[in-house]
Amino acid sequence: MTAARAASRLLRMADDHIIETVDLSKRFGERIAVDRVTLSVPRGCAFGFLGHNGAGKTTTIRMLLGLTGSDGGTMSVRGLAVPARRREALSRVGAIVEEPHFHGQLTGRENMRIVAAVRGPETFARIDGALARVGLAERADERVSRYSQGMRQRLGVARCLLADPELLVLDEPTNGLDPAGILEFRQMIRSLVAEGRTVFLSSHLLDEVERACDAAAIIDGGRIVTSGPISELTRSRHSELVIACDSPDQAVELLLGAPGVLAVERSSPALLRLRLDRTGAASDVNRRLVLAGIGVSRLEPVHESLEQRFLEVTSRLEAVA
């Protein structure tokens, strides 16, 4: 794709997507760290960016933020080309790349005031609200050296909120957090999205991304190997159904050998698990049961976990096999 065509595509899609890259690439010597990455992040969602350590996540983020140059391709943030319009693009972007760092001898509030002084006088008015937003209002006047890891992560988000960001870019934000801290962070992400913000969350914690995010992309060896809504990424490649009905024995007899049904199993006394041979057979199964007078209380497709999907599409599974 030529640079002109790539730029034209970015402009057409800018209204719907807050991050756009086309054929984005980066080399370090002979090593290709990011290999022609094309990525679209919708506005107003939590978007997971998944990959093993060294897969290219942080390098991609650093290019988006203008912290390192690219060797090919185009990218835009908030509909503005980076790096050409980096300053304007990042004016309403908050980012934590790797672990947030603060002056430990200063309080949380004093650290925030330092950042506000750099951003401009209007930013000072946002300090109290940002600290309250992340649950640090009562601890704001304590030295950061006394903060837990989770509190420092939340202070990092509060620092991002000083920009009143449309987009928050968080690189491995739950590293070092205990389960309670991870739960708090997940709830905070969802509440930020509820305000209309976009959260771009880079992580290798698959279960957490599945719980917190609306959509995701998986990067492996510097390339995007799959992307889409979480519901699609976790949809089983096989057509399988779980059914609960009021006459399971009769249902088994009825469905065994029925057109489109390859197998019927009793996964529990009250539940059936069906394997189908074609997409759309679920409606046929439901109609067959209802016509036989069998009440159906549950009929749903079987979903994979995001972890299963991740292992299927990344090279790590091949290394283990």
> Which range among 37-46, 239-248, 262-271, 291-300 has the greatest average pLDDT?
37-46
Beta-strand relationship, 31-42 and 46-50: unpaired
Lowest mean pLDDT among 151-165, 205-219, 260-274: 260-274
Q: Where are the domains of the chain?
A: 45-65+91-231, 239-301
Q: Mean pLDDT of all residues in the chain?
A: 87
- Would the pLDDT of 119 be above 60? yes
Quote the CA–CA distance of 226 and 16 in Å, as a whole number. 20
pLDDT at 172: 86
Closest CA to 95 of 82, 109, 110: 82
**pLDDT-based confidence at residue 109 (cuts at 50, 70, 90):** very high
pLDDT at 276: 83
Beta bridge partners of 167: 93, 198
Same fold, 45-65+91-231 and 239-301: no
Answer CATH for 45-65+91-231 from 3.90.870.10, 3.40.50.300, 3.40.50.2300, 3.40.190.170: 3.40.50.300
What's the mean pLDDT in 36-41?
96
**pLDDT-based confidence at residue 77 (cuts at 50, 70, 90):** very high
Q: Which residues contact 72 (CB under 8 A, 6 or more apart)?
A: 23, 24, 25, 36
pLDDT at 145: 96
Cβ–Cβ under 8 Å, residues 229 and 214: yes
pLDDT at 321: 38
Cβ–Cβ under 8 Å, residues 128 and 139: no
**pLDDT-based confidence at residue 217 (cuts at 50, 70, 90):** very high
pLDDT digits (tens, 9 = 90+) for 92-101: 999 998 778 9
pLDDT at 258: 87
Q: Sheet harboring 31-42: ordered strands across?
A: 31-42, 17-28, 72-77, 80-81
DSSP H helical segments within the chain, as ranges? 3-13, 57-64, 86-89, 108-119, 127-133, 149-161, 179-194, 206-212, 230-233, 248-255, 281-291, 306-313, 315-320
Q: Which fold has domain 239-301?
A: Alpha-Beta Plaits (3.30.70)
Other Cβ atoms within 10 Å of 318 Cβ, number? 8
What's the mean pLDDT in 147-174?
91
pLDDT at 304: 67
Percentage, residues of the chain above pLDDT 70: 90
pLDDT at 18: 97
**pLDDT-based confidence at residue 170 (cuts at 50, 70, 90):** very high
**pLDDT-based confidence at residue 307 (cuts at 50, 70, 90):** confident
- Could you tell me which residue, 203 or 93, shows the higher pLDDT? 93
HSE-CB for 283 with a 13 A CA cutoff: 2
Helix (H, G, I), strand (E, B) or coil at 140: coil
Quote the CA–CA distance of 219 and 87 in Å, as a whole number. 27
pLDDT at 52: 87
pLDDT at 5: 52
Return the biggest CA–CA distance within the chain: 74
Q: Which residues contact 258 (CB under 8 A, 6 or more apart)?
A: 284, 285, 288
Place of tokens 């089983």: 236
